[in-house]
Structure 1
């Protein structure tokens, strides 16, 4: 359960103000049909994070525990720094022409998540906890917790939540995980 809860919390916080959350706002404003947008986000996130979780699980079988501890510790510290860098939406075309709203959302989200901090976090968390299903379920839930309100509430959410504070909390969690992993506190690996 620890892997699930930490994965959910970290990704939900890291996703605040992320380009995929901005993409959620864009899609909601453009299409005004929340159900296919939310389903597209869910499918894209499940596919993307399942791939990332599998990569993280594979990584644990590839390297020894000491090497993995250093890779993960440094990765979590890098994620802490990366979380503090504001994200912006790249040019993502949100036209539903060929695949409809669901398809446009799924494709745009899948592509936007490639190499994104939440995908990297999923790889690291899956490697750290060696718990594929809890990590993928947790990171997917975290994505949905951050993006579904953006679809329903739209840009109003950005006026209520201090993104600097949320990013600071997420960065602190990543930094704590990095330090604890590097110090091998509680034999986390």
Structure 2
């Protein structure tokens, strides 16, 4: 349960201000909300399943103390990445505009490709490496998937209510602060267990 809750919070925070939220907003302007959320959920579940499996392999191959230190440093890096900000580049914007056919497939394919190598994927790998065992890995997968879908659903709702005037800087600072807190906690745990 702790792996689920930690993953849910970490990935929710990681997703705030991420380009995936911008994609969710953009797709929600073209398609109905439920197909957009279905595509996001399917893509996220697949990417995060692969991330958890990769993290499990790394967690077994590397002792727990160094894994926590590496995870802590990674989370501090995610904080810097979050502060830098994220935006859709021209190629990603064109993909959103060209999406045709089934909304679920268009959104799912775009999200799947956008999430490969993204900070939420890397954070999920890091969390899975830190939470071994079947229950921990299932918790990381479920928590990270739900955290991302909820953050993207929030972007759609807030975007529809407030238009495109989101307080991006405040969201970015809050998300970065969350990464710093988790990063420092993981560093402390890793140093203690080294």
What's the TM-score once normalised by structure 2's chain length? Answer: 0.86
Change (3 A) 1:119 1:188: farther
Q: CA deviation at 1:77?
A: 1.4
Q: CA deviation at 1:135?
A: 0.9
Q: Is it true that 1:87 corresponds to 2:89 in the alignment?
A: no
Runs (4 or more) in structure 1 with deviation over 4 Å come to 185-189
Task: Compare 44-53 and 136-145 and name the one that shifted more.
Answer: 136-145
The answer (yes or no) to whether the contact 1:53–1:135 under 8 Å persists in 2 is yes
Alignment-derived partner of residue 148 in structure 2: 143
User: Secondary structure of 1:169's partner?
Assistant: helix
* Counterparts of 2:185 and 2:17, CA distance in 1: 27
Q: Is it true that 1:154 corresponds to 2:159 in the alignment?
A: yes
The unaligned stretches of length 5 or more in structure 2 are none
1:129-140 pair list within 5 angstroms: 129-130=131-132, 131-140=136-145
Alignment-derived partner of residue 48 in structure 2: 49
The answer (yes or no) to whether the contact 1:29–1:154 under 8 Å persists in 2 is no
The answer (yes or no) to whether the contact 1:28–1:154 under 8 Å persists in 2 is no
Alignment-derived partner of residue 13 in structure 2: 13
Pairs aligned (count): 186
User: Secondary structure of 2:84's partner?
Assistant: coil
Q: CA deviation at 1:14?
A: 1.9
Q: CA deviation at 1:69?
A: 2.6
Work out which of the residue numbers 112, 115, 124 in structure 2 matches 1:113.
Answer: 115
Task: Compare 68-77 and 130-139 and name the one that shifted more.
Answer: 68-77
Q: CA deviation at 1:115?
A: 0.8
The answer (yes or no) to whether the contact 2:65–2:193 under 8 Å persists in 1 is no
* Counterparts of 2:193 and 2:168, CA distance in 1: 30
What's the TM-score once normalised by structure 1's chain length? Answer: 0.88
* Counterparts of 1:171 and 1:153, CA distance in 2: 20
Change (3 A) 1:185 1:73: closer
Q: CA deviation at 1:164?
A: 2.4
